[in-house]
Amino acid sequence: MSQQDFFPDIITNLPEADIPVEGLHAYLLQGQNQQVVFMRFEKDAKIAEHSHEAQWGVILDDEIELIIGGKVYTFTRGDTYFIPKGVKHSAKIRKGYKDLTLFNQKDRYRAK
């Protein structure tokens, strides 16, 4: 399956999330109090340290290195992770990485 058709139309027809990361395609499912974002990376990416409301994710393909509260974790396909509210974290993401992430925050991202 190619990068472009990994997610079916039911996902790619969602609004794109406005996330300023080169090579990232992100689709936003807006809930009343949370957001779900389906992400697909076409390039390696580094995400600077930051914090926000709680975040839970499941890795759908490839690999991510997350530094959560100063500890380094590597997650691959099928793994899940949790970042508690307010905990500083950063990431190194490999080209080809795909995930589904739930943010316990209704306004984490805006639609493009």
Q: How far apart are CA 16 and CA 29, in angstroms?
A: 9
The architecture (CATH level 2) of 9-103 comes to Sandwich (2.60)
* pLDDT per position as a tens digit, 5-30: 799 999 999 999 999 999 999 999 99
Report residue 76: phi and psi, to 5°.
-130, 180
pTM, to two decimals:
0.93
Domain range list for the chain? 9-103
* pLDDT per position as a tens digit, 18-63: 999 999 999 999 999 999 999 999 999 999 999 999 999 999 999 9
